[in-house]
Chains A and B, each alone.
Chain A
Amino acid sequence: MAMLEVNDIHTYYGNIHALQGVSLEVEEGEIVTLIGANGAGKTTTLRTISKLLTPRQGNILFEGEDIAQYAPHEMVFKGVAMVPEGRGVFARLTVAENLDMGAFSRDDTKGIKQDLERVFTLFPRLKERRSQVAGTLSGGEQQMLATGRALMAHPRLMLMDEPSMGLAPILVEDTFKTIKAINEEGTTILLVEQNATMAFSVADRGYVLQTGEIVLDDTAENLKANEMVQKAYLGIE
């Protein structure tokens, strides 16, 4: 049984049929990437998995359980955390307060402390800036904070929406190294990206989304070699 099973979901914004039957699976321990052009429905897919949106059709199983019954805030308790598109740090809260909010669902003081240590080891910059208001952080630092905040929930599955967006090339590389490291420590990751080259370098498998439908589904190796993918997403003619 896969950790996450998305079965033929259709999600709408009013009359806009944004997801037209998306199915995907994520096995425990994997990094799975979901790539696609602007407006393909990547964010919509992640928001549906985290229950911010409800599909009109289809279902989603997390660890074998249908999530239809849960409210968005309950998904964190189930073990799903998200690094949202555009980072979504709380600009007026300090770095430390943002991390606190990441651990909102927990009350195991000791575990929270351990995870805070882990976040500060992963991102020493956050430790230096912990009493700074998040709105004044650089883009790269905000990405670290959004990732660290999701880790504070100690999730089993982490959804990441374009973590490399808007970052300088050197930071992009750091970001993917961090993603790999987080995965190696035991967190399963579903990674949405437009930077397909980097995404394939860390992912085990991938899905290609086009206007609300999955058009390809294969190992990262095979996708990298796929002619259509090379043309459309890797910039290889």
Chain B
Amino acid sequence: MLQRFQNISFLDIALWALAAIIITVVIWGTIATIIDNPYNPQFWAETIVFGISQGSLYALIAIGYTLVYGVLFMINFAHGEFFMTGIITATIFLAQPMKETGFLDNYPIISLLAIAAVSILVSMAIALLTERVAYRPLRKAPRLVPLITAIGASFFWQYFFRGLYGSEVKPFPPFEILKGKFTIAGVPILKTHAVVIVSAVIMLIGLYLFVMKTKVGKSIRAVAENKDVAALMGINVDRAITITFAMGSAMAGIAGVLYALVFRQTHFFMGFIPGIKAFTAAVLGGIGSVPGAALGGFLLGMFESIGPALFLEGLGIPAPHQLKDVIAFTMLVLVLILRPQGILGERLAEEKA
């Protein structure tokens, strides 16, 4: 009995106290908001749809962090840049000229598919180039080295693309067919959000099936567990890692298109915040786990969206919506205190080091 208590440090107690305070504030705020009842059900429904839509983007990007971490135990900080490079290129070379010539409005589906294809291909090309040139030579180096290199790669691509395309915001043209909303069970849903959510869910399921069911997917999981033994099976480890980067960056390329549909602009710096948020989502869900990244993404999007109104409004905090980032990172702190391996993660991270 005493033994047990001796293993608990002051730091643990302080962290648990912090967790307890956060939970108390959240419950207190929620109750206060419910009593106050400042919003109608319609508002909540719309907020939830927005949260799911935002969460789909985080989930798609988070997959890339989790896949790469799974095979290399490395946090690929340049992943947010893979997301940016694809869509910014597709915006400049496809979306904007297509809008000007009228092609985009005449053939919206073809245009959208073409934009998606270019965005995916560019994101993939940048990711594979980065892996080959910056990460592969460092595969046997101590873990801190590729981490720093990834941060360097992130800056490199940001400023490379700023130099290439300029630093101003590039508007992404609106699609006429995606204007307006439709109503499901009394809840109005923007068509754009519907497209974002449905595409993301299809991609996530497709990726999950690929990783779980196909021979290549299984070989990636084998490489994630033990590279030497995987090689003994005849698996080309370098190729498996390349495929992993390709899949993660393809998801980021699609996320870029969906982001542009919602926010209607692209920018050389656009990868930074979504990248950090998606990384948070991956840690939240349990880094290394594909379902974890998806779950983490959706949860983060939801909490960011409903959190300010639900937790903070009732406490009388002014302009709570500006605090959505605080909510996202508070949520991360809470999960890391209560469940360090993340929601669906396994307690393996330390052994593997």
Instruction: Name A's B-contacting residues (CB within 8 A).
Output: 50, 52, 71-77, 81-82, 84, 88, 90-93, 97, 100-102, 104-105, 149, 153
Given A71, A74, A90, which contacts B229 in the complex, CB threshold below 8 Å?
Answer: A90
Cβ–Cβ < 8 Å partners of A71 in chain B: 231, 236
Let me know if A104 and B234 touch, CB within 8 A. Answer: yes
Cβ–Cβ < 8 Å partners of B222 in chain A: 90, 93, 101
In the assembled complex, B233 has its CB within 8 A of some CB on chain A: yes
Sample 14 A-B pairs with CB under 8 A, ordered by A number: A73-B232, A73-B234, A75-B232, A77-B234, A81-B232, A90-B221, A90-B229, A92-B221, A92-B225, A93-B225, A97-B218, A101-B218, A101-B235, A153-B233
Cβ–Cβ < 8 Å partners of A74 in chain B: 234
Q: A84-B228, A90-B229, A93-B222 are in contact. List 13 more A-B contacts (CB 8 A).
A: A52-B231, A71-B231, A81-B232, A82-B232, A84-B229, A88-B226, A88-B228, A90-B226, A93-B221, A97-B218, A101-B218, A102-B233, A104-B233
Chain B 226-265: CB-based contact to A (< 8 A → 1; otherwise 0): 1011111111110000000000000000000000000000
In the assembled complex, B215 has its CB within 8 A of some CB on chain A: yes
Cβ–Cβ < 8 Å partners of A82 in chain B: 232
Shortest Cβ distance from residue B254 to the other chain A in the assembled complex, whole angstroms: 27
Cβ–Cβ < 8 Å partners of B225 in chain A: 90-93
What separation, in Å, do the CA atoms of A73 and B225 have in the docked complex? 16
Let me know if A50 and B236 touch, CB within 8 A. Answer: no
Near A by CB (< 8 A), chain B positions 54-105 give none
Let me know if A73 and B236 touch, CB within 8 A. Answer: yes
Q: How large is the interface on B (under 10, 10 to 19, 20 to 34, 35 or more residues)?
A: 10 to 19
Cβ–Cβ < 8 Å partners of B215 in chain A: 100, 104
Let me know if B232 and A52 touch, CB within 8 A. Answer: yes
Shortest Cβ distance from residue B238 to the other chain A in the assembled complex, whole angstroms: 9
Shortest Cβ distance from residue A104 to the other chain B in the assembled complex, whole angstroms: 5
Shortest Cβ distance from residue A78 to the other chain B in the assembled complex, whole angstroms: 10
Cβ–Cβ < 8 Å partners of A77 in chain B: 234
Let me know if A101 and B219 touch, CB within 8 A. Answer: yes
What separation, in Å, do the CA atoms of A119 and B126 have in the docked complex? 44
What separation, in Å, do the CA atoms of A233 and B237 have in the docked complex? 38
Shortest Cβ distance from residue B10 to the other chain A in the assembled complex, whole angstroms: 35
Q: Contacts A93-B222, A97-B218, A100-B215 given: A105-B232 contact, CB under 8 Å?
A: no
Let me know if A88 and B229 touch, CB within 8 A. Answer: yes
Let me know if B221 and A72 touch, CB within 8 A. Answer: no
What separation, in Å, do the CA atoms of A91 and B224 have in the docked complex? 11
Most buried by B among A71, A73, A75: A73
Closest to B232 in A: A82
Let me know if A76 and B234 touch, CB within 8 A. Answer: yes
Q: Contacts A92-B225, A93-B225 given: A72-B218 contact, CB under 8 Å?
A: no
What separation, in Å, do the CA atoms of A100 and B228 have in the docked complex? 17
Given B218, B221, B226, B237, which contacts A73 in the complex, CB threshold below 8 Å?
Answer: B237
Let me know if A52 and B228 touch, CB within 8 A. Answer: yes
Given A50, A92, A100, which contacts B232 in the complex, CB threshold below 8 Å?
Answer: A50
What separation, in Å, do the CA atoms of A104 and B218 have in the docked complex? 10
What separation, in Å, do the CA atoms of A82 and B230 have in the docked complex? 11
Q: Contacts A92-B221, A100-B215, A104-B219 given: A76-B226 contact, CB under 8 Å?
A: no
Cβ–Cβ < 8 Å partners of A88 in chain B: 226, 228-229, 232
What separation, in Å, do the CA atoms of A44 and B221 have in the docked complex? 26
What separation, in Å, do the CA atoms of A97 and B230 have in the docked complex? 12
Q: Contacts A93-B218, A97-B218 given: A104-B235 contact, CB under 8 Å?
A: yes
Cβ–Cβ < 8 Å partners of B233 in chain A: 73, 76, 101-102, 104-105, 149, 153
